[in-house]
Structure 1
Amino acid sequence: MKCAIVTGAARGIGLATAKKMLADGWRVVLADWDADELTSVCAVLGDNALPLVTDVSNPEQVNAMIAGTLNWAGRLDAIVNNAGVADFGPIEDTDFARWRAVMDVNLDGVFLCSQAAIAALKAQGGAIVNIASISGLRASTLRVAYGTSKAAVIQLTKQQAAELGEYGIRANCVCPGPVRTKLAMAVHSQEIIDAYHDAIPLNRYGTEEELANVITFLCSDQASYVTGQVVAVDGGFESTGVGLPALRATD
């Protein structure tokens, strides 16, 4: 049975991805630094789910995560680098400590987890799927650290694809657009929600399950000739650039 690691798996897109992979017959290691939430969600996921409390910015904990996975499953076929932090604020208010806190998780964590997984992935010809963001593809206000970290993840993915392909390891990147998570709905005002709906050709937020479907596909053998790709799962948001919704009217 194939095995995957999903980081940032205690909630949101990570948890939805873990559930989708479990439903598709994978064994899944759910990694997160929130021990209480991780224990809670894994309690109902069955024997093919293993919780491992992990801070992806800590090299020792990342190495322990890989070792724990191999001890449990005996193999590793895919890693989904989903763990991330969202910190939004003006450039002039982003001091170096705040900048580093974002980079530690969003960029360094992806690098560390991927690097630690390479030896195990070589044995299977496995897959790396990094979760960036639409904010890594298009600039926006208040995202100097977040957007920059996600843009770097996109480039890191391409580096991984170029270098690891000879080992049969595929590396791809998923860039979510606005997603209807509990967190987003708690902090997005109705004005923000309406503005996003107007700017997205599909006129709605995505769902966690829609992201999970694409991530799981990229981990699977169905995507065996797909590597080095950046997939925006965003309802068309990125493709329209700064196009005004009023100019897309067809009546």
Structure 2
Amino acid sequence: MTPTFESLAAHCGIALPPMLARLLADGRTRYGASREDWQANWREYTLRAQPLLSSVYDFEWIDAAQAARIAEEWLNPRFQDGRAFLPFAISGAGDAYCLMRTAAGEAAGAGMIWHDRGDSAMEAASFEQFVFARLVESALDFEHLLDDFSPAQARDCVLADFEAAAGYLPEAAANALRALAAAAEPVEDDSTGMIDEDVAERALSVYAAFESARFAVVPRWECE
């Protein structure tokens, strides 16, 4: 049977966040209608935040089949000291962005599991906080977009992500993104961001500060 994120969530015992469920249902994690469509039109798609988080550094959504393979072949509780993960994206190096249970087991936090390190940590207490923080980070530093876009276009990519995400995030976070967008100054030819660190820090305070203890991870190549 073809896996879905709903079935994967049920299998690993990690609740699928409503925001992620909505993004999946609305097609906001898809890279065009096909590989050929994406290859031909990726610039236009990125400028209008399709998929969501297009402005985020080194982040690529995956489908349920890819998530199932990662969860089975690497981030499987039998390899990872009983800890369960639900992958939803990857980095270019093959690290996995995952949902995972908080220490209290009451909600699904999120973070990156490095493919070649012996430990990792949860980065956010919820999927929504993870998305919000990544977008603020993109506004602070969009240098990674400058290989393909001008600073003004990079700013447009981030603003498009802000606008799209605001329709899915909780009200306080959505309003914080709208305020950042309204306050963002025009960029210069040598700009690598559209907000400064103080502005970013104030925006991030919409969510309570979060810190997670690091936990051991068995590297991918050691799992058989």
Normalising by structure 1, what TM-score? 0.28
Higher helix share: 1
Q: TM-score under structure 2 normalisation?
A: 0.30
